[in-house]
Chain A
Amino acid sequence: MKKNSFISKIAGNRILIPIVALLILAVFNFIADPSFFKITLGYNNLGNPVLSGYLITILDYGSELAILALGMTLVTAASGGQDISVGAAIAIAGSAMLRVLCGADGRAETLQTPIIVAFLIAVVIAMAFGAFNGILVAYFKIQPMIATLILFTAGRSIAAWINNNQLPIVNDQGFTVFGGFIPGIPIPTPFFIAAACVVVIMLVLKFTNLGLYTQAVGINESSSRLNGLNPEFIKFITFVILGICVAVAALIKVSRLSTINYSVIAKDIEMDAILAVALGGNSLSGGKFNMWASVLGAYVIQFLTTTLYKFNVQSDALPAYKAIVVIILVIISAPTVREWMGNMWTRMNEKKDAKEAKVNG
């Protein structure tokens, strides 16, 4: 009996979905080609020790997704909608960062400003664009997807305009650390950045009421207002927080290449970020959320992407495969299917109990 309640406790938990998805992917890869799990230690062209292998790639590229998933989870919880402009916003933040680092002509040999200053400027800009989205959604009551469609459409042009359509290149090796490796540490830096972000957000959730407020507003706005909350401001603030996440992701993205390609950088990343939230078992129509599940969901998405790449799926064809995952997710999280599975579960238990009772009796 005790075991049952333990199992049902886990079964009712949202984090089960990404865990199961992760297991399925891992088992599939293990059967198809165990070398998927091989990790080798080598040296990069700077002579630093680096780990490489598919798992490391997942850890590396999944991290920027995880950072975005943090903000996206909060936006989803409070507003019941998603921000589809994060990819374009990354282009803007990244472009601004490069503009500050490389100066007006974009060809400066040395950094024009310290990296931290450039990063903070990018944070402010990304928060401002987040605030723009937030105002449209919270105060003008525009559907989040529609409101963020504006920036989704215009964002990459704005990014190009910031640098007069030039492609500035950062020549400082120190800048490559954020998207690469810290000298002497063989694990990709984005993982540490993501871990830091997760720690920060978890601390915020623990030491403030952000979690309770966003969930309350997402579930019942009218009731939240009568309990003294300010639903508009809470929705607004989640978009601003997502802006911070965007700036961090932009730092990683720009650092990887030391330059920017306005039309390609972080392309389609909003879909992966939204998918991470969904894969975490969080309702896309708002309300209760589990932050850990979203983070895990982000890495599972990257696991899927990497698996597909390994099997030589063209990058153009990737969305089709991801669509299949979305369909499966949507179906298993549909209430009718859940109820059906719940019934199956209780029936199985009843049979087992009856059998045990027979054996014992």
Chain B
Amino acid sequence: MSENVVLELKNIRKRFGPVQALKGVNFKLCEGEIHALMGENGAGKSTLIKVLTGVYTKDEGSIHMKGYDGDIAIHSPQEAQDAGISTVYQEITLCPNLSVAENMYIGRGKEIIQNWKKMNDNANKILESLDIPTSATTQLANCSIAVQQMVAIARAVDMDCKVLILDEPTSSLDDQEVAKLFKLMRDLKARGVGIIFVTHFLDQVYEVCDKITVLRDGVQEGEYKTEELPRLQLVSKMLGKEIDDLSDIKNDEAIMQDTNEENVIETNQLTSTSGISPLDFYIKKGEVNGFTGLLGSGRSECVRAIFGADKVVGGTIKKNGKLVKINKPIDAMKAGIAYLPEDRKVDGIIGDLSVRENIILALQVLEGFWKPFTRAEADDFAEKYIKLLGIKTASADTPIKSLSGGNQQKCIVARWLLTHPEYLILDEPTRGIDVGTKVDIQKLVLKLASEGMSITFISSETDEMLRTCSRLIVMRDRKVVGELTGSDLTQNKIMSVIAGGDK
């Protein structure tokens, strides 16, 4: 083991029942290095991280750390921490009702009596040294998500970690927050911490990472220096095939809507309890439009109001020119509106139910309480959409929670397609899912639109929206601040509209 290698994994294997999740993975991490771990969903990233952090116990292979002889056995997250491996997960795993300092030191004191003053002082010192904009005694819930994420990192750093694992830390952060996080990561790198960075955002990989390791189907596809691996190459390595350039799918025909076409949905001064400014919005038949803006700018709140997911407090909605009353989601569904929510785990899947039940749920609710589908009907629906969308599942009976994120998302898409909506709202349908599925979903959106469905597509990744939408509505501070069409649909233009008003 060479001098500056801090962590080395050799031939790690792990299986779950009949599924061999890791088939002998090798991985090497040096001191002061930010190393991206890339792969599609189901490639084994999460499993590898969990083996490393002691959540799972490996079946075979060895883990070597600098300063330890031979294989170190990691059986629990505690042992991983003791060895100097700290993890910050995608979901914040701190306690929101405790203070920042308490969160940093919780479960670590060996003393029975806690010296609160000392603890707060220490915490402040660390926060300062890492340039984290909060104080020790602030309650965590009052910090922004980004700061909470940073506190989790501060906690890890103070535990004297040699290896820091960041598992999708940026998926709920906006650009500015991401920039702050990256600064923190570079600071830590300068201190010699080895960082493993798991993310789905290619831009971010190229911004901060020194090396990239690609996993595919539970094996290491290769380790590359970032500058030697162009993006397209990376994607094709993750997918394991030469794919067409992603930019190939493009809204070429730029479905320029016929201005004579009637509005499918039209809202007038719509407001909801979430506090968006009154929304005037329309969408035409076969149109794909999108809401863009920074996180928290009110993108989701707009579509949630249209669907009745948040309580509507004012304004009207017209469908095909006729007024419709939408108070709850079922009203919207009856009006032919479908909504794929932003947070798949919380609002989308019904975890313990089977893929079949998850797919038929919305249509079943529309059919009504007294008309359950027969098993054969339900099977037909499920099989049809499993085939149509290429959902990878052992069977329609499998609980949806055991599917990978991308396949779960496809099930939810299937659920809404099954209701044959006239207007489909997709709120972040591609978040946290692999490149292959992203492309599938984008293609599907364009195909559905060409068949006459109206679609609103929301994504944090602007290029994705530029590829699919023919009209973008730009939001800032819960207000619509601009609308872009045609040749105005460029990254720069969007940025300038988002930034615009402050001048």
Binding site for B on A (CB under 8 A): 206-210, 212-213, 215-216, 219-220, 222-230, 287-288, 342, 346
Query: Chain A nearest CB: distance from B324 CB in Å?
Result: 15
Query: Chain B nearest CB: distance from A172 CB in Å?
Result: 39
Interface residues on B, range: 20 to 34
Query: Do A216 and B350 touch (CB < 8 A)?
Result: yes
Query: Do A227 and B365 touch (CB < 8 A)?
Result: yes
Query: Do B350 and A228 touch (CB < 8 A)?
Result: no
Query: Chain A nearest CB: distance from B429 CB in Å?
Result: 14
Query: Do B330 and A216 touch (CB < 8 A)?
Result: no
Query: Which residues of chain A are near B361, meaning CB under 8 Å?
Result: 212, 216, 227
Which of the residues A224, A228, A287, A346 comes within 8 Å of B366, measured between beta carbons? Answer: A228
Is B92's CB within 8 Å of the partner chain A? no
Query: Which residues of chain B are near A223, meaning CB under 8 Å?
Result: 341, 346-350
Which residue in chain B gives the minimum CB-CB distance to A215? B353
The 10 closest A-B pairs by CB, nearest first: A228-B330, A228-B365, A228-B333, A220-B350, A219-B350, A209-B372, A219-B352, A227-B362, A228-B329, A287-B352
12 contacts between A and B (CB under 8 A): A206-B372, A208-B370, A219-B353, A220-B350, A222-B346, A223-B347, A223-B348, A223-B350, A225-B328, A227-B329, A227-B362, A287-B352
Is B192's CB within 8 Å of the partner chain A? no
Is B102's CB within 8 Å of the partner chain A? no
Query: Which residues of chain B are near A222, meaning CB under 8 Å?
Result: 346-347
Q: How far is the CA of A166 from the CA of B217 in the complex (A)?
A: 75
Q: How far is the CA of A208 from the CA of B365 in the complex (A)?
A: 11
Query: Chain A nearest CB: distance from B183 CB in Å?
Result: 35
Query: Chain B nearest CB: distance from A77 CB in Å?
Result: 11
Name the interface residues of B133-183: CB closer than 8 Å to any CB of A. none
- Known contacts: A216-B361, A220-B349, A220-B351. The answer to whether A226 contacts B372 by CB under 8 A is no
Query: Which residues of chain B are near A229, meaning CB under 8 Å?
Result: 330, 365
Query: Do B339 and A226 touch (CB < 8 A)?
Result: yes
Is B124's CB within 8 Å of the partner chain A? no
Query: Chain A nearest CB: distance from B344 CB in Å?
Result: 9
Q: How far is the CA of A344 from the CA of B395 in the complex (A)?
A: 24
Query: Do B357 and A212 touch (CB < 8 A)?
Result: yes
Query: Chain B nearest CB: distance from A222 CB in Å?
Result: 5
- Known contacts: A212-B357, A212-B361, A230-B330. The answer to whether A224 contacts B372 by CB under 8 A is no
Query: Chain A nearest CB: distance from B242 CB in Å?
Result: 38
Which residue in chain A gives the minimum CB-CB distance to B339? A226
Is B309's CB within 8 Å of the partner chain A? yes
Query: Chain A nearest CB: distance from B131 CB in Å?
Result: 36
Query: Do A212 and B364 touch (CB < 8 A)?
Result: yes
Query: Which residues of chain A are near B369, meaning CB under 8 Å?
Result: 208-210, 213
Q: How far is the CA of A152 from the CA of B372 in the complex (A)?
A: 36
Query: Which residues of chain B are near A207, meaning CB under 8 Å?
Result: 370, 372
Query: Do B339 and A342 touch (CB < 8 A)?
Result: no
Q: How far is the CA of A346 from the CA of B17 in the complex (A)?
A: 7
Query: Do A226 and B353 touch (CB < 8 A)?
Result: no
Query: Which residues of chain B are near A342, meaning CB under 8 Å?
Result: 17
Query: Chain B nearest CB: distance from A152 CB in Å?
Result: 29
Which residue in chain B gives the minimum CB-CB distance to A218? B352
Query: Chain B nearest CB: distance from A104 CB in Å?
Result: 42
Which residue in chain A gives the minimum CB-CB distance to B15? A346
Query: Chain B nearest CB: distance from A353 CB in Å?
Result: 12
Query: Which residues of chain B are near A215, meaning CB under 8 Å?
Result: 350, 352-353
Query: Do B353 and A216 touch (CB < 8 A)?
Result: yes
User: How would residues 254 to 290 of chain B score, 1 for a CB under 8 Å from any chain A CB and 0 otherwise?
Assistant: 0000000000000000000000000000000000000
User: How would residues 334 to 356 of chain B score, 1 for a CB under 8 Å from any chain A CB and 0 otherwise?
Assistant: 00000101000011111111000
Query: Do B350 and A226 touch (CB < 8 A)?
Result: no
Query: Which residues of chain A are near B329, meaning CB under 8 Å?
Result: 225-228
Query: Chain B nearest CB: distance from A348 CB in Å?
Result: 13
Query: Which residues of chain A are near B366, meaning CB under 8 Å?
Result: 228
Q: How far is the CA of A209 from the CA of B378 in the complex (A)?
A: 13
Query: Chain B nearest CB: distance from A350 CB in Å?
Result: 10
Query: Which residues of chain A are near B333, meaning CB under 8 Å?
Result: 228
Q: How far is the CA of A216 from the CA of B371 in the complex (A)?
A: 17
Q: Which of B329, B350, B362 has the most CB of A within 10 A?
A: B350
Which of the residues B17, B341, B351, B364 comes within 8 Å of A226, measured between beta carbons? Answer: B341
Query: Which residues of chain B are near A287, meaning CB under 8 Å?
Result: 352
Query: Which residues of chain A are near B328, meaning CB under 8 Å?
Result: 225, 228, 230
Query: Which residues of chain B are near A216, meaning CB under 8 Å?
Result: 350, 353, 357, 361
User: How would residues 411 to 444 of chain B score, 1 for a CB under 8 Å from any chain A CB and 0 otherwise?
Assistant: 0000100000000000000000000000000000
Q: How far is the CA of A163 from the CA of B309 in the complex (A)?
A: 49
Q: How far is the CA of A212 from the CA of B326 in the complex (A)?
A: 24
Query: Chain B nearest CB: distance from A1 CB in Å?
Result: 12
Query: Chain A nearest CB: distance from B422 CB in Å?
Result: 16
User: How would residues 364 to 382 of chain B score, 1 for a CB under 8 Å from any chain A CB and 0 otherwise?
Assistant: 1110111110000000000
Query: Do A212 and B17 touch (CB < 8 A)?
Result: no
Query: Chain B nearest CB: distance from A269 CB in Å?
Result: 29
- Known contacts: A225-B329, A227-B329, A228-B330. The answer to whether A209 contacts B364 by CB under 8 A is yes
Query: Which residues of chain A are near B353, meaning CB under 8 Å?
Result: 215-216, 219, 288
Q: How far is the CA of A346 from the CA of B349 in the complex (A)?
A: 29
Q: How far is the CA of A342 from the CA of B369 in the complex (A)?
A: 37
Query: Which residues of chain A are near B351, meaning CB under 8 Å?
Result: 219-220
Which residue in chain A gives the minimum CB-CB distance to B372? A209
Q: How far is the CA of A225 from the CA of B351 in the complex (A)?
A: 15
Query: Which residues of chain A are near B339, meaning CB under 8 Å?
Result: 226
Query: Which residues of chain B are near A288, meaning CB under 8 Å?
Result: 352-353
Query: Which residues of chain A are near B370, meaning CB under 8 Å?
Result: 207-209
Which residue in chain A gives the minimum CB-CB distance to B334? A228
Which residue in chain B gives the minimum CB-CB distance to A220? B350
Query: Which residues of chain B are near A219, meaning CB under 8 Å?
Result: 350-353
